[in-house]
Amino acid sequence: MMAKRDYLVGGQIDPERGFLPSSDPIQRVPGEFAVWEETARDLPKLLAAGGARSVLDRLPVVHPDADFDDGQNRRAMLLLSYFGHAYVWGGPDAIGRVPPGVAIPWYEVSQRLGRPPVLSYASYALDNWRRLDPSDPIELGNIVLLQNFLGGMDEEWFILVHVAIEAKAGRALAAMVAAQDDVARDRPGEVTRRLGIMSESLQAMYEILLRMPERCDPHIYYRRVRPYIHGWKDHPALPEGVLYEGVDAYGGRPQKFRGETGAQSSIVPSLDAALGISHKDDPLRPYLIEMRDYMPPEHRRFIQAMETGPAIRQYVLAHKDNGPLREAYNQCVDLLQLFRSTHLEYARTYIQKQSQRSQQNPVEVGTGGTPFIAYLKKHRDETGGHKIA
């Protein structure tokens, strides 16, 4: 079995960047793929003018280069995902097909990356940023988006808050790996110290999350940002899913994929796994597992490594007379519950309390196709139940 530290280095999970790519995302794909870059550059204007679908209908079928490296494949996936969602949602009514010039290369590059041809969190956030000053940190004030749907401060801020949180999670990911090693070596003092680092990282993540309302207005988010990130599984506007025209592997059958959602970030599942926070076996549990299909494969492997590694929670339970160790663990649980509670509050403000005008943007169904309020509340409450007395 691969050593867990290899998941941090060889698996492209960086102690300084978390699940963000180990090198800053590339900003262009080369050569004949210029047609994608030109279309991406104009996409916000095309959507504003109502002309995106006609342009995407005429997009030629260009196959991703067999020599694309990982960064180029990720860039291609980002562009094609934006095109696909702009086509499906970029009109007065949803349309249940994607034209061949988008669908065929989208499918091909998705197979290389090991995730479905749909806009997922990896393309929407992890691979969608650049630094204004490459010598300064990956943080708010020094990062901007590579690609937008409509553009504007609210769309930028909504995604960049997620990017900044991802960067702050790096220390927690490294600490949880080290904590499991310390559990295996029966070093309670070191486990306590690692849990303290995880708490510091969680606190930094939480403080960034609190900044969401600074530049992302709930009304604008709901009306201008959210409509484009829905998927086509369990969505009332597309009950049959979406047809990927020209993709032979699908045999002319519409496909159903979940939309972009923060549940596709690997941070919280990794924390759950490391802290031994389990969720009851009910209809929402399979959804959590399903979300891993939309994550980069190396991130899935990291979560699995945390789940099968030495159990931090059981170690703390076995040493619960050790006050500093128990308190360090409980502090992590408290902060994770607080993070989830704030996310739930935002979901109510930014979505549930908005006024629904069409079934394309439902207030009771999340972009991932679930009853999200029940989902978020359930997991917030279950997290708090894991504190050790």
pLDDT band at 6 (very low <50, low <70, confident <90, very high): low
Average pLDDT value for the chain: 93
- Given the structure tokens 């401060």, which residue do they identify? 153
pLDDT the model gives residue 15: 83
Range in 165-174, 242-251, 351-360 with the lowest mean pLDDT: 351-360
pLDDT band at 311 (very low <50, low <70, confident <90, very high): very high
DSSP 3-state of 318: helix
Range in 63-77, 213-227, 321-335, 343-357 with the lowest mean pLDDT: 343-357
349 close to 373: Cβ distance less than 8 angstroms: no
Q: Environment class of residue 333 by beta-carbon count within 10 Å: exposed (0-12), middle (13-18) or buried (19+)?
A: buried
For 213-259, give the DSSP string. HHH--HHHIIIIIGGGG--SSS-TT-TT-BEETT-GGGTT--B----
Is pLDDT above 80 for 8?
Answer: no
Helices 170-184 and 267-275: crossing angle in degrees, nearest 10, is 20
pLDDT the model gives residue 370: 72
pLDDT the model gives residue 1: 34
Task: Collect all residues with Cβ–Cβ distance below 8 Å to 378 and sequence separation of at least 6.
Answer: 279, 280, 282, 284
DSSP 3-state of 130: strand
Alpha helices by DSSP H, 143-186: 153-168, 170-184
Is pLDDT above 70 for 7?
Answer: no
DSSP 3-state of 170: helix
Compute CA distances 221 → 41, 91, 154, 159, 217, whole Å: 22, 18, 7, 11, 6
Residue 142 structure tokens: 């020094």
Angstrom distance (rounded) from CA 48 to CA 46: 5
269 close to 241: Cβ distance less than 8 angstroms: no
Is pLDDT above 50 for 305?
Answer: yes
pLDDT the model gives residue 212: 98
Is pLDDT above 50 for 354?
Answer: yes
Angstrom distance (rounded) from CA 332 to CA 121: 25
Angstrom distance (rounded) from CA 349 to CA 4: 39
* More confident call, 357 vs 146: 146
**Percentage above 70 pLDDT, the chain:** 97
pLDDT the model gives residue 3: 46
Neighbours of 317 (CB within 10 A): 13
Choices 1.20.58.480, 1.10.260.40, 3.50.30.10, 3.40.640.10: CATH for 4-384: 1.20.58.480
Nearest CA to 57 out of 42, 76, 39 is that of: 39
Is pLDDT above 90 for 4?
Answer: no
pLDDT band at 94 (very low <50, low <70, confident <90, very high): very high
pLDDT band at 373 (very low <50, low <70, confident <90, very high): confident
212 close to 346: Cβ distance less than 8 angstroms: yes
pLDDT the model gives residue 12: 53
Is pLDDT above 60 for 157?
Answer: yes
Is pLDDT above 50 for 2?
Answer: no
Nearest CA to 148 out of 70, 238, 291, 42 is that of: 42
Compute the average pLDDT of residues 305-311.
Answer: 94
pLDDT the model gives residue 248: 98
pLDDT band at 9 (very low <50, low <70, confident <90, very high): very low
* Buried-state track 295-311, b at ≥16 Cβ within 10 A, e below 16: bbeebbbbbebbeebbb
* More confident call, 177 vs 13: 177
pLDDT (tens digit, 9 = 90+) per residue, 125-148?
999 999 999 999 999 999 999 999
131 DSSP β-pair partners? 143
pLDDT the model gives residue 368: 77
pLDDT (tens digit, 9 = 90+) per residue, 232-272?
999 999 999 999 999 999 999 999 999 999 999 999 999 99
260 close to 188: Cβ distance less than 8 angstroms: no
* Buried-state track 225-252, b at ≥16 Cβ within 10 A, e below 16: bbbbbbbbbbbebbeebbbbbbbeebee
Range in 31-45, 160-174, 350-364 with the lowest mean pLDDT: 350-364
Range in 141-150, 185-194, 277-286, 359-368 with the lowest mean pLDDT: 277-286
pLDDT the model gives residue 10: 41
Range in 249-263, 271-285, 331-345 with the lowest mean pLDDT: 271-285
> Considering Cα of 32, then 34, then 40, then 45, what sign does the dihedral take?
negative
Compute the average pLDDT of residues 22-40.
Answer: 94
